[in-house]
């Protein structure tokens, strides 16, 4: 992973995202070509980003899998998470390590402690 201060605009570590925005994707991450990343996105090592995924203003930490057609906006996703298909995470939602978000869940301003499985609609809460 590269630190932002080490990156020059012409650096191969800095990729071009949606609408020409700058993103950082670890060299071991796999991003489906139909995914839209940016602006302000960091994808950690070993991550897998599925088809149709939209990520903006967010960080996805290492070994996390984001399944198809999910939206992650203004959020921080922890290590070794699994984000289901058609999930919506917004409003500075944050997850700890080893969190599973089930298909079609909606999270807005939710903080999730490590080692949890979450389903359904949650807003402005902490899930312990």
Query: Per-domain residue ranges for the chain?
Result: 13-127
pLDDT tier at 4, thresholds 50, 70, 90: very low
Write the DSSP assignment of 49-105 as a string of letters: E-TT-EEESEEE-TT-EE-TT-EEES-EE-TT-EE-TT-EEESS-EE-SS-EEPTT-
Q: What is the pLDDT of residue 12?
A: 58
Q: What mean pLDDT do residues 81-95 have?
A: 98
Phi and psi at residue 4, in whole multiples of 5°? Answer: -50, -40
pLDDT tier at 2, thresholds 50, 70, 90: very low
Which CATH number, 1.10.287.110, 3.40.50.700, 3.40.50.150, 2.160.10.10, labels domain 13-127?
2.160.10.10
Q: What is the pLDDT of residue 21?
A: 75
Q: Under DSSP, is residue 25 helix (H, G, I), strand (E, B) or coil?
A: strand
How far is the C-alpha of 4 from the C-alpha of 6, rounded, in Å?
A: 5
Q: What number of CA atoms fall less than 13 Å from residue 59's CA on the CB side?
A: 12
Whether the per-residue pLDDT at 1 is higher than 80: the answer is: no
């Amino acid at each position: 992973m590269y630190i932002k201060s080490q990156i020059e605009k012409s650096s191969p570590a800095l990729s071009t995202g949606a609408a020409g925005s700058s993103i950082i994707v670890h060299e071991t991450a796999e991003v489906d070509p139909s995914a839209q990343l940016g602006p302000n996105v960091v994808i950690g090592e070993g991550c897998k980003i599925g088809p149709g995924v939209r990520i903006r203003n967010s960080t996805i930490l290492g070994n996390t899998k984001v399944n198809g057609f999910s939206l992650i906006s203004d959020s921080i996703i922890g290590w070794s998470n699994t984000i289901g298909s058609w999930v919506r995470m917004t409003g500075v939602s944050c997850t700890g390590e080893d969190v599973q978000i089930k298909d079609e869940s909606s999270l807005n301003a939710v903080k999730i402690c490590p080692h949890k499985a979450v389903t359904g609609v949650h807003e402005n809460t902490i899930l312990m």
